[in-house]
Amino acid sequence: MDKNGLSSFLLGLGVGVGLGMLFAPKAGHETREIIKNKAGEGTDYLKQRGSDIKQTASEWVDKGKEVIGRQKDNIADAMEAGKQAYRDTVGHPSPSSEGTAN
């Protein structure tokens, strides 16, 4: 849920509680109990949404790390290929063939 949606939820919760208090045909202690329960539901909802957002962010971080790791490997491979192409062009032996007899 985006920030605007969360604000709307909290505003709606507050308006609902206020209207409920004005028009409630119940006794004061019953009304307070209902308000307490609804506030608890709102708190639980916010905790769950926070947990969901944290999990999603963690998944994005993990995916980002994977992509960076793959790109790092690709760059290392490309650099090694470039070095080998340079050696082949210049005529220098590769590190693996140095020290071997022709």
Rounded-to-integer distance, Cα 16 and Cα 22, Å: 10
Within-domain flag for 63: yes
Within-domain flag for 51: yes
Q: Are 16 and 38 in contact (CB under 8 A)?
A: yes
Rounded-to-integer distance, Cα 63 and Cα 58, Å: 9
User: What one-character DSSP code corresponds to residue 24?
Assistant: -
Q: pLDDT tens digits, residue range 50-64?
A: 999 999 999 999 999
Looking at the predicted structure, is the pLDDT value of residue 87 above 80?
yes
Within-domain flag for 72: yes
- The range of the structural domain enclosing residue 80 comes to 16-89
* 49: number of Cβ within 10 Å: 14
- Structural domain total, the chain: 1
Q: How far apart are the two ends of the chain, measured CA to CA in Å? A: 69
Predicted TM-score (pTM) of the model is 0.46
